[in-house]
């Protein structure tokens, strides 16, 4: 039992990113310890192409967590993001699985429960789609992130390998 | 320097699986410690759908390693497989990355260098496509597999988390 008062849950919206959100998403991805101003981000042609590739692919989506969106969930301030890839496969009776990458919460908003909201929404989308499981990797140095994912029910069952080309 | 004689390199072909290979691929995926006869595999409608989803998606491919293929690389005996998923993303300047899963060599052919051939071909395909990196996860209990991937240059930099839905 904890005697701490319950934190207020922020009012946020999760939606697929639009092209207009691209600078804010790139700012989040560049943000390690401090907020990067989206207006300082250079949106190169390669980033435009990559965003179009994600946006036009029915098995990929860049989701953004937005504060102060309008009644239709549009506009507002991007404070988090993640990319989901839905992968067809021959395991688990032929079910899709969801791979989650590029999980970010804006540096000045961490610790306020937004990460949990972002991940819970993403897991719910994968479940609604019929995915058999959700998978992700997290750098071995990020032990705080490992506790976060374990707290959401994720099991740390695998080693994650990368080969730079 | 080693005084061991060089192992003969098996003559094999790597190609995208055709529908006719599906029972052999399912047999490989079911094979843990002994060879499963493809004729004993039940190809359900769900597996048919999943194979069609992989085969028709330009960002997914099921690759099979085949012995005794004909001059055009068709036919022959499937002795290995893996699935590659090419994922667009906003990291690394907007480059794709390749996710490799479902890596299998038939139980009676392990230890003969086929796994290395399979992975080296898959990495070469990812490089030719312009991917910035190749990534995969391997169950923490499979330490032989970890040594194998490390020997191919992969770095074990991440923890792999899964959530069953």
- Report the gap between the CA of A96 and the closest CA in chain B (Å): 8
What part of B 59-88 touches A (C-beta under 8 Å)? Answer: 59-60, 62, 83, 85, 87-88
Q: In the numeric block, which tokens belong to residue B52?
A: 């069609």
Positive/negative CA dihedral, B162, B104, A163, A82: negative
ipTM: 0.91
- CATH number of the domain located at residue range(s) B12-151 in this protein: 3.40.630.30
Burial of B136 (0-12, 13-18, 19+ CB in 10 A): buried
A54-82: pLDDT as tens digits: 999 999 999 999 998 888 877 889 999 99
Burial B151-163 (b: 16+ CB within 10 A, else e): eeebeeebbbbbb
Number of CB atoms found within 10 A of residue A53's CB: 18
pTM: 0.92
Domain ranges in chain A? 12-151
Could you list the beta-strand ranges (E) of chain B: 12-16, 60-67, 77-87, 97-105, 133-139, 155-164
- Mean pLDDT, chain B, as a whole number? 92
- Tokens representing B17? 């699986």
Chain B residue numbers touching A57 (CB-CB < 8 A):
59, 88
Which whole-number Å values give the CA distances from A17 to A56, A144, A151, B95, B147, in the listed order? Answer: 12, 27, 27, 19, 40
Q: What are A104-128's pLDDT values in tens digits?
A: 999 999 999 999 999 999 999 999 9
- Comparing A28-32, A128-132, B161-165, the range with the smallest average pLDDT is A28-32
**pLDDT per position as a tens digit, B9-49:** 558 999 999 999 999 999 999 988 889 999 999 999 999 99
- pLDDT value, residue A3: 47
Q: Rounded to an integer, what distance in angstroms lies between the CA atom of residue B136 and that of residue B102?
A: 10
Q: Indicate the residue of B46, B127, B162 with minimum beta-carbon distance to A155.
A: B162
Is A109 in contact with A65 (CB distance < 8 Å)? Answer: no
Place of tokens 């009676």: B108
B57 vs A88, A140, A160: nearest CB: A88
Average pLDDT of the segment spanning B122-131:
97
């Amino acid at each position: 039992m904890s005697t701490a008062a319950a934190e207020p849950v922020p009012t946020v919206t999760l939606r697929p990113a639009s092209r207009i959100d691209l600078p804010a998403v790139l700012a989040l991805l560049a943000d390690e310890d401090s907020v990067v101003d989206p207006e300082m981000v250079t949106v190169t042609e390669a980033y435009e192409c990559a965003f179009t590739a994600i946006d036009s692919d029915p098995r990929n989506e860049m989701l953004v967590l937005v504060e102060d969106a309008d009644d239709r969930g549009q506009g507002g301030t991007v404070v988090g993001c993640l990319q989901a890839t839905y992968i067809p496969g021959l395991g688990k009776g032929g079910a899709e699985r969801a791979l989650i990458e590029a999980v970010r919460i804006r540096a000045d908003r961490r610790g306020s429960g937004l990460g949990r909201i972002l991940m819970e929404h993403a897991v719910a989308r994968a479940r609604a789609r019929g995915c058999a499981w959700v998978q992700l990797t997290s750098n071995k140095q990020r032990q705080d992130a490992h506790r976060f994912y374990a707290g959401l029910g994720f099991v740390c069952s695998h080693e994650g390998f990368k080969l730079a080309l």
